Chain A
Amino acid sequence: MLTIAAIALAGCATTASDQEIASKATAILKQSFKPAGQAGLDRLEQDDAQRICSAAAGKPVSREAAAEIEKANLATIRYPADGKLVGDWRNGEKLAQEGRGKQFSDDPRGPVGGNCYACHELTKSELAFGTIGPSLYQYGKARGQSADVQRYTFGKIYNSEAFAACSNMPRFGYKGILSEQQIKDLTALLLDPASPVNQ
């Protein structure tokens, strides 16, 4: 005996539902990639934020969904135990310039950077900057170095979606891309009055 589903599938040239297409896409994704270098198939497993933000397909998610994503990601932030959030801006600038890290073509023991210049303007002298993210030139000069500003800045680099659900910016601390010290150094690049970002 044919079920409704079987009859529907037996019909020709009907448009598949969005859910069917989504299921098909997930199945195809799994078959279409192979592990290489340090990149295993586990990298295709999505967490809630990735899944919800993908389904939004470029449109803003609902206020409720955004609030949930931000709350969940805020809970992941690990602030330094010694309470010191600002490191060495000189190392921060090197990290901002470094575009390698985590690709299957990268040596897993090799340098890992934030690649900040891919998306952001930072120092005045570096002309080769991207525009996917806002300019960070004079970031510290504009905001000062209060404890709140330090906490926000460190936290934003650690997990950007704690403050902006579906942000395009990688979650450098939470996803294990950068270490605590590296995030401190990038915080310094942005906040230290001596940093070239603030000249």
Chain B
Amino acid sequence: MRRSSPEGRRLAARARAGLRALFAALAVAAAPLAAAQGSVSEEIAKYRAALQDGNPAELWEARGEGLWRERRGPKQATLERCDLGKGPGVVKGVYAELPRYFADTDRVMDLETRLVWCMVQLQGYSEADAKRNPFGSGNDKKSDIEALVAYITSESRGVKMNVPLTHPKEAEAYGVGEKLFFFRGGTHDFACATCHGEDGKRIRLQELPNLVTKEGAQRAYTTWPAYRVSQGELRSFEWRLYDCFRQQRFPELVFGSDAAIALTMFLARNSNGAVFDAPAIKR
């Protein structure tokens, strides 16, 4: 996934230049190691705060709203009658209650799989076509799913996470997600828990939320999707799972798979009570 949009390149170049200057300054500092570590974390926090102004995610939100309202597909229909859990066409607050059980499909679905479902049912796309390009790369390969995710999630900003666990299939998805979270596999024996199972850890200089705790899950889950500066793209939660598994040396997580939904269920439910604050911006 390489950024190829001029906008993305400029933003990424500015971010990289800023980081290079930051690390160069710290490398020549004569400060003791512990103090240098503290200031590196502080500086990165300041850098992130500075990025908040003018989040490029807004471009995806606008494109997503356009896609929601546009007549598309073989049926030339809009998505405005799509039921994301709070009734046909209701978008406000839906992400705070996903994943959830849907009676019409008799299964638990996350936002991405529900959007695919609506594209198939309402607009007449084949499932293969709807799932063809979940993660965009540059202006020539934009992802409709990512834009729709940006729009729908933006309509839950400020809403408290309130994922239900009333249907047996919701409880099962949560339990399966928890098992998968601790599943050690691949060449490196990594599980999600290997990096995300303890307080106060980081990989290189990237702080790692402890996703087994409520506080960690809340901080992490409420800030995805996000404009990922290093990708030059708006990235969804399914992308985050896909990219974690890639780095865990697993084979490829299938987009919209039951494992993706179950893990999302586990983490989203663990974040209940926290205020959703995305689309955000990350390094």
- B is bound to A: yes
Interface residues of B (CB under 8 A from A): 23, 26-27, 33, 36-37, 40, 168, 171-172, 175-176, 178-180, 182-191, 193-195, 197-198, 200-205, 208, 212, 245-247, 249-254, 257-260, 262
Which of A10-18, A60-68, A142-150, A189-197 is near enough to bind chain B?
A10-18
Contact B33 A54 (CB under 8 A): no
- Given the complex, which residues of B lie within 8 Å of A171, measured CB to CB? 189
A24, CB-defined interface residue at 8 Å: yes
Q: A22 with B179: in contact, given A29-B259, A58-B193, A131-B202 (CB under 8 Å)?
A: yes
Q: Which of B179, B184, B208, B259 contacts A46 (CB 8 A)?
A: B184
Q: CB-CB < 8 A to A170: which residues of B?
A: 187-190
Which of the segments A74-82, A97-105, A180-188 contacts the partner chain? A97-105
Residue contact A132 to B251, C-beta cutoff 8 Å = no
B residues in contact with A34, CB < 8 Å = 251-252, 254
CA distance A13 to B37 in the complex (A): 51
CB of A104, distance to nearest CB on chain B (Å)? 6
Give 20 CB contacts A-B under 8 Å. Answer: A14-B168, A16-B175, A25-B175, A28-B257, A28-B262, A32-B253, A32-B258, A33-B245, A34-B252, A34-B254, A39-B250, A39-B252, A44-B185, A50-B189, A57-B182, A58-B193, A58-B197, A104-B251, A118-B204, A130-B204
B246 near A40 (CB under 8 angstroms)?
no
A110 CB–B CB distance under 8 Å: no
Inter-chain contacts of B182 with A (CB < 8 A): 54-58
- Give the complex CA separation of A168 and B196 in angstroms: 11
**Within the complex, what minimum Cβ distance (angstroms) separates A102 from chain B?**
5
The residue that B172 contacts in the complex, of A16, A36, A118, A176, with Cβ under 8 A, is A16
- A124 contacts the other chain (CB 8 A): yes
Min CB gap A169→B, angstroms? 8
- Tell me whether A3 is interfacial, beta carbon within 8 Å: no
**In whole angstroms, what is the CA distance A10 to B207 when docked?**
46
B249:A103 contact, CB within 8 angstroms: yes
From residue 88 to 131 of chain A, which have CB atoms closer than 8 A to chain B?
102-105, 117-119, 124-125, 127-131
Partner of A103, one of B40, B194, B246: B246
Residues of B near A54 (CB, < 8 A) are: 179, 182-184, 191
Within the complex, the shortest CB–CB distance from A82 to chain B, in Å, comes to 27
Option from A32, A118, A130 in Cβ contact (under 8 Å) with B259: A32
Closest chain B residue, CB of each to CB of A124: B33
Q: Give the docked Cα–Cα distance between A189 and B218 (Å).
A: 40
Q: 6 other contacts beyond A31-B257, A31-B258, A50-B184, with CB at 8 A cut-off?
A: A21-B179, A32-B260, A33-B251, A57-B193, A132-B208, A177-B188
Q: Give Cα A40–Cα B252 distance, bound, in whole angstroms.
A: 9
**Contact yes or no, B200 A39, CB < 8 A:** no
Closest CB in chain A relative to B112 CB, distance in Å: 14
Q: Are A43 and B212 in contact (CB under 8 A)?
A: no
A35 at the interface (CB under 8 A from B): yes
Minimum distance in angstroms from B165 CB to a CB of chain A: 11
Of B178, B185, B246, most A-chain CB atoms within 10 Å: B185
Residue of B nearest to A41 (CB): B251
Q: Which residues of A contact B205 (CB under 8 A)?
A: 127-130
B186 touches A43 (CB 8 A): yes
Whole-angstrom distance between the Cβ of B4 and the nearest chain A Cβ:
17
Contact status B259-A33, CB under 8 Å: yes
A102→B63 CA distance, assembly (Å): 36
Which residues of A have CB within 8 Å of B193? 57-58
Report the 9 A-B pairs with minimum CB-CB distance, sorted nearest first: A32-B259, A32-B257, A25-B179, A36-B252, A170-B188, A21-B175, A39-B251, A50-B184, A28-B258
A136 contacts the other chain (Cβ, under 8 Å)?
no
State whether A130 touches B184 (Cβ < 8 A): no
